[in-house]
């Protein structure tokens, strides 16, 4: 089927080159004009063909050669002529509309150039073949209105003259605000609805297909500038960016003398969607250059005023294939297609244009003298045989406007005649007086209804905003030329229902079923956010990962969302996951290790205490203040058990007990060491009897240091607990994915005061022990006490910076380890030498060994 259609298309194109030379001259020679008799005549000016000198045009196959000129056939405009004739025939056959009046017509071709257009207008208005200004033949002229279009330039040119005579003029081209100025064009009526919602419709289509990077070609005139402003405002509001904007000068033939400067820009632009605004005549240079590119793979978004047939070439692939066209919605006119099917030279022999077409496309013999064909051509030929890209059998938007314009005039005439019959008297048999300007009140005020039942309002201030049809241009293989409806845009519908598009019906220029993409930058996937590229529009951006603990679960987000403190971002940073509650537990490897160390060292201390109890009568145990040694060993046993308060899930009670029990036990331990050092100093400094020193030693006064220091510690703890006690806190930042339950010390000042107090006790003990390190005695432990205090201070001085640099469970573990280390230093340095002598060298732990050693020292020569 595809091959057959391609063959027919090529077959129909062959006669164009062979036979178009003579027949096309007739249109110029006979000054193409169609007339139909009637009591009242409607005049139409249509650009059915254009004539150019040979040196001002280029060769595309819709241009037909003659000796000195080239004739451009505008078959889309020829459908306007058929629409006008169809409407008039329909009205004349309607007994309820203009029952005693027949409508006639006069159809003129719009020549190239304003001068020749005005000449044609004068000839038509004067009712004669002479172009005489300000002259009207009353016997011949019965014109009621003039139809012009589709270009606003044609309507403006004719309207300037008609307004002088207050002659009704109806334009069927796209609505133009310039033509609605009452001061300049008080007699002009625009049939087409306003394009108020065209730009929102186009932008809605961009958003529907996620096209946010588009190029724009637009005519460089007042209407183009206004449309560009509206389009840009709508695009900016919806985040659609322009890749480029090219204003095309509306200069006929400007492309003939120089190549189009920006044709490379289309192919090189990263934008795959390009909006073109303007009619085909105005943007002739643009579209010719586009179609010279065999493969552009661009999606063209057009308005309905395009005549694709005038740009055809011989390539099998059309660059405009797959274009999306916005067209005003209109109802189908019954019987119009049948009318065009039956419109042939035998039925309408007066239409020279029709004879030329039959000669060109159906191989008919042509009599140049009469500009008519003879009947030896393809039988039953009709316009429906022509390929769709040459002549479209579907009624175009402009043809629909022509149809409505004729009905508008007919209804106005009908109302005017009824008004005259009702309110004016005239002699019997006398023709009713009629002047065209009398139609204005009826054209302005009434809503007119065509044969199809559609309402039409010619007052531009009351025009309703109709919906748009979205058409997809199918032209593969070349010559198919179908405009297929694939969607609608209804401005009055709810927001979510304004645009309706059937995507699977669209044929894309790429040949793929996938929707083309048109973006400056690829979308940022979830887990990333956009960052603006300096110096470029908002649609051009880079993608960077979300910061720590932030997520994005949508594409193209500007800012990532921060997870709540109780949650954390997963690796992909697209979800917030709930954090696991954790603490320094007994079943953690670190918790187990510290727990075993605590129990092990406390058991070891208890064992040392047992050794001391068992050997309490030996000299080495008795020589170092036995009660103080017992006190210190019991305290160290509890110090080793103190870390168990730091392990496990914190509670209010454990948080309060942790620091206070730690401070209390270490105060007792350090005050005990201080008491031992003071006792040693007092004992060995008594070289001569003295009441005070002897009393201190006998009364065991140094032992009172322990309760005094402990009471001071209890006082400090009381202040801490009453002002800012420790409490349960949550650390949500230290460990990724976890909430660590810890004990907040409440007052950091109080905690550091506690450490300072312990440090003062340790330094005091160290100072006293240091003074007594060289005192003579077999079991003098002053050196060991001094060294143990030195190690104790080193542990806690080292603890402070490390403690403040760690977080979470490590901070707790660091404090536990410091408690164990400092406690171990006291146990090991003070009691290890004694246990060594008691257990491994028991012979040295006897009075005989001590006396012998003392006697031996005394016998030494001095």
Average pLDDT for 502-521: 86
DSSP state of 76: H
555 vs 22, residue with greater confidence: 555
Q: Is the pLDDT of residue 489 over 90?
A: yes
Q: Is the pLDDT of residue 5 over 50?
A: no
For residue 839, name the pLDDT band (cuts at 50, 70, 90). Answer: confident
Classify residue 515 as left (phi > 0), alpha (psi -120 to 50) or beta.
beta
The per-residue pLDDT for 13 is 37
How buried is residue 326: exposed, middle or buried, by Cβ count under 10 Å (0-12/13-18/19+)?
Answer: buried
* Nearest CA-CA partner of 81 in 115, 124, 36, 46: 46
For residue 325 the two structure tokens come to: 């066209």
Average pLDDT for 170-188: 86
* Phi then psi dihedrals of residue 596, to 5 deg: -65, -40
Beta-bridge partner residues of 42: 105, 145
Q: Is the pLDDT of residue 47 over 70?
A: yes
Average pLDDT for 718-742: 86
- Token pair 């208890």: residue: 606
The per-residue pLDDT for 231 is 93
DSSP SS3 for 280: coil
For residue 163 the two structure tokens come to: 């307004």
Q: Is the pLDDT of residue 458 over 80?
A: no
Residues 612 and 610: their CA atoms lie apart, in Å, by: 5
Residues 6+ apart with CB under 8 A from 344: 354, 358, 381, 382, 383
Q: Find the radius of gyration of the CA atoms of the chain.
A: 53
Residues 509 and 518: their CA atoms lie apart, in Å, by: 13
Residues 502 and 682: their CA atoms lie apart, in Å, by: 106
Residues 6+ apart with CB under 8 A from 257: none
Residues 284 and 246: their CA atoms lie apart, in Å, by: 14
The per-residue pLDDT for 145 is 93
Alpha carbon distance, N-terminus to C-terminus of the chain:
134
CB atoms within 10 A of CB 164: 10
Asked whether the beta carbons of 413 and 371 are under 8 A apart, the reply is no
Mean pLDDT estimate for the chain: 79
Residues 282 and 280: their CA atoms lie apart, in Å, by: 6
Q: Is the pLDDT of residue 638 over 60?
A: yes
Q: At what angle do helices 589-614 and 626-641 cross, to 10 degrees?
A: 160
| Exposure class string for 485-523: b at 16+ Cβ within 10 A, else e | ebbbbbeeeeeeebbebeeeebbbbeeeeeebebbbbeb
* pLDDT over 90, % of the chain: 22
The per-residue pLDDT for 58 is 43
Residues 332 and 335: their CA atoms lie apart, in Å, by: 9
Which range scores top for mean pLDDT: 309-318, 391-400, 702-711?
391-400
Cα dihedral value 534, 537, 538, 542, nearest 10: -50
Q: Is the pLDDT of residue 447 over 80?
A: no
Beta-bridge partner residues of 406: none
pTM of the model: 0.67
DSSP SS3 for 561: strand
Residues 369 and 708: their CA atoms lie apart, in Å, by: 141
The per-residue pLDDT for 182 is 77
For residue 270, name the pLDDT band (cuts at 50, 70, 90). Answer: confident
For residue 93, name the pLDDT band (cuts at 50, 70, 90). Answer: very high
Of 8-12, 234-238, 764-768, 853-857, the least confident:
8-12
């Amino acid at each position: 089927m595809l091959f057959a259609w391609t063959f027919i298309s090529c077959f129909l194109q062959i006669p164009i080159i062979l036979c178009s030379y003579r027949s096309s001259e007739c249109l110029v020679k006979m000054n193409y004009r169609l007339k139909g008799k009637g009591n009242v005549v409607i005049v139409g000016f249509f650009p059915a063909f254009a004539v150019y000198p040979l040196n001002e045009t280029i060769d595309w196959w819709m241009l037909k050669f003659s000796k000195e000129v080239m004739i451009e056939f505008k078959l889309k405009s020829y459908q306007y002529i058929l629409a006008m004739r169809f409407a008039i025939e329909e009205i004349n056959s309607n007994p309820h509309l203009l029952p005693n009046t027949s409508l006639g017509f006069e159809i003129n071709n719009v020549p190239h150039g304003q001068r020749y257009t005005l000449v044609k207008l004068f000839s038509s208005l004067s009712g004669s073949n002479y172009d005489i200004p300000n002259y009207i033949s009353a016997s011949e002229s019965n014109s009621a209105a003039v139809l012009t279009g589709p270009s606003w330039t044609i309507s403006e040119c004719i309207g300037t003259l008609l307004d002088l005579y207050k002659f009704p003029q109806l334009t069927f081209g796209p609505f133009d605000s310039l033509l609605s100025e009452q001061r300049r064009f008080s007699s002009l009526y625009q049939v087409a609805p306003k394009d108020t919602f065209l730009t929102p419709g186009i932008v809605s289509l961009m958003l529907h297909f996620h096209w946010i990077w588009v190029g724009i070609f637009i005519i460089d005139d007042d209407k183009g500038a206004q449309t560009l402003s509206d389009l840009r405002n709508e695009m900016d509001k919806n985040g659609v960016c322009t890749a480029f904007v090219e204003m095309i000068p509306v200069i006929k033939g400007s492309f003939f003398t120089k190549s189009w400067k920006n044709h490379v820009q289309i192919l090189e632009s990263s934008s795959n969607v390009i909006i073109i605004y303007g009619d085909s005549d105005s943007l002739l240079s643009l579209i010719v250059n586009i179609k010279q590119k065999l493969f552009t793979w661009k999606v063209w978004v057009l308005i309905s005023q395009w005549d694709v047939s005038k740009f055809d070439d011989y390539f099998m692939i059309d660059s405009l294939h797959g274009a999306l066209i916005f067209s005003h919605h209109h109802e189908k006119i019954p019987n119009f297609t049948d009318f065009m099917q039956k419109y042939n030279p035998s039925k309408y022999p007066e239409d020279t244009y029709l004879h030329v077409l039959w000669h060109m496309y159906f191989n008919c013999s042509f009599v140049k003298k009469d500009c008519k064909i003879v009947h030896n051509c393809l039988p039953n030929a009709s316009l429906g045989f022509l390929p769709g890209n040459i002549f479209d059998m579907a009624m175009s938007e402009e043809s629909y406007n022509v149809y409505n314009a004729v009905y508008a005039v007919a209804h106005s005439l009908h109302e005017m005649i009824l008004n005259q019959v009702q309110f004016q008297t005239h002699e019997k048999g006398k023709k009713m007086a009629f002047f065209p300007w009398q139609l204005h009140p009826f054209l302005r005020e009434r809503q007119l209804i065509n044969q199809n039942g559609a309402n039409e309002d010619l007052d531009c201030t009351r025009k309703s905003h109709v919906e748009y049809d979205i058409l997809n241009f199918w032209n593969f293989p070349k010559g198919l030329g179908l405009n297929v409806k694939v969607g609608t845009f209804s401005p009055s519908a709810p927001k979510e229902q304004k645009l309706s598009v059937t995507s699977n019906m669209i044929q894309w220029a790429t040949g793929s079923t996938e929707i083309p993409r048109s973006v400056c930058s690829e979308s940022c996937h979830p887990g990333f956010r956009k960052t603006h590229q300096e110096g470029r529009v908002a649609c051009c951006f880079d993608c960077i990962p979300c910061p720590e603990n932030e997520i994005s679960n949508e594409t193209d987000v500007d800012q990532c969302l921060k997870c709540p403190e109780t949650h954390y971002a997963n690796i992909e940073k697209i979800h917030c996951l709930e954090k696991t509650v954790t603490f320094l537990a007994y079943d953690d490897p670190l918790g187990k290790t510290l727990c075993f160390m605590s129990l092990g060292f406390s058991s070891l201390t208890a064992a040392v205490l047992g050794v001391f109890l068992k050997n309490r009568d030996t000299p080495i145990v008795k020589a170092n203040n036995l009660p103080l040694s017992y006190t210190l060993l019991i305290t160290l046993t509890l110090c080793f058990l103190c870390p168990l308060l730091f392990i496990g899930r914190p509670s209010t009670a454990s948080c309060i007990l942790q620091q206070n029990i730690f401070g209390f036990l270490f105060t007792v331990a350090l005050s005990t060491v201080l008491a031992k050092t003071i006792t040693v100093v007092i004992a060995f400094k008594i070289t001569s009897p003295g009441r005070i020193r002897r009393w201190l030693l006998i009364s065991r006064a140094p032992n009172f240091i322990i309760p005094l220091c402990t009471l001071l510690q209890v006082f400090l703890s009381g202040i801490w607990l009453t002002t800012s006690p420790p409490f349960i806190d949550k650390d949500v930042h230290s460990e990724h994915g976890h909430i660590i339950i810890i004990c907040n010390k409440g007052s950091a000042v109080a905690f550091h005061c506690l450490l300072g107090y312990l440090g003062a006790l340790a330094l005091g003990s160290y100072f006293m022990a240091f003074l007594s390190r060289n005192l003579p005695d077999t079991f003098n432990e002053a050196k060991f006490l001094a060294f143990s205090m030195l190690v104790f201070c080193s542990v806690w001085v080292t603890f402070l910076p490390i403690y403040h640099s760690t977080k979470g469970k490590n901070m707790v573990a660091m404090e536990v380890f410091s408690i164990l280390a400092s406690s171990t230093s006291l146990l090991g340095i003070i009691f290890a030498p004694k246990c060594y002598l008691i257990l491994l060298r028991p012979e040295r732990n006897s009075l005989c060994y001590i006396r012998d050693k003392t006697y031996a020292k005394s016998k030494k020569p001095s």
